[in-house]
Amino acid sequence: MLSIVFFVSGYYPVILGWCIYYLYLSCTLSSLPTTEEAGSEIFSNFTQHSYWPVFTQVLAVALSGICLLGGIKWIEKVNMVLVPLLLAIVIFTFAWSLTRQYAEVGITFLFTPSWSSLLDPSMWIAAAGQNAFDTNAGMAVLATYSTFMSRDSRIISYSFLIPIVNNLVSFFASITIFSTVFSTIIQTNPTATRSAIVRIMKTAGPGSTGLTFTWIPVLFSKVGVVGRVLCVLFFLCLVFAGVSSLLSLTQVHVLAMKEFNGESMNSNKL
């Protein structure tokens, strides 16, 4: 289990570094990208033609290290503000995306099942893997958090609440992305087919990361001046949410080493 967490926490700072870069970019760009091509070019220049990924990854590791060494209570307080703010932004963009022209085409595609896919084992494996990753299943994160819980903690309530909220956010985000992508592409290329649009979504960044780093800035660019502010806040919230997630993975190793050395598990409380 520790080996799984080790490898996951190895690439997590990479994605967190991307979030840090896009936070910087949201503040400094003269204008947000308005098309998929422009968004993809920015992402490609960042990941393939610069030293920014190395710098931002080091920055992400340093930030998590500072949090662990200096005490992480402050980031808990920050996240109590920023995570609800991130949720509010998700809900706002979800509602706004529904007003976009051709949004219904993307929503219809999203909720039109391909029944033949249910017979494909790889689809079930991918879905189970995504859900397991979403909830940190099999990575000892929840077991680590449990060592800091008191007898008064509402374990049963949290067991229901966390998956429900997690899946609701994913539900809203999927509608937002499909509405925005289909709306933007159809408006710029009315002859684009559904399969061509889905192909663009699949190839927008490794592991579909382009859905966040290519299409989210495009989405906010359609909102005008308010969109720039929302874009900055979105990636700011994403950075702190990412840091807290990275800390939860790192804490697994910290507690394992403390237990190996015979130290108290609760001497470095979250």
Q: Which residues are annotated as a binding site?
A: 166, 245
If phi > 0 it is left, if psi is from -120 to 50 it is alpha, else beta; for residue 33 that is: beta
Contact 39, 180 (CB under 8 A): no
Closest to 252 measured CA to CA, from 104, 158, 141 = 141
Which amino acid, one-letter code, is at 73? K
Residue numbers in the known binding site for Na(+) are: 166, 245
**How many Cα neighbours within 13 Å face the side chain of 128?**
6
C-alpha dihedral sign at 81, 82, 87, 92? positive
Distance from C-alpha of 31 to C-alpha of 36, rounded to nearest angstrom: 14
Distance from C-alpha of 185 to C-alpha of 173, rounded to nearest angstrom: 18
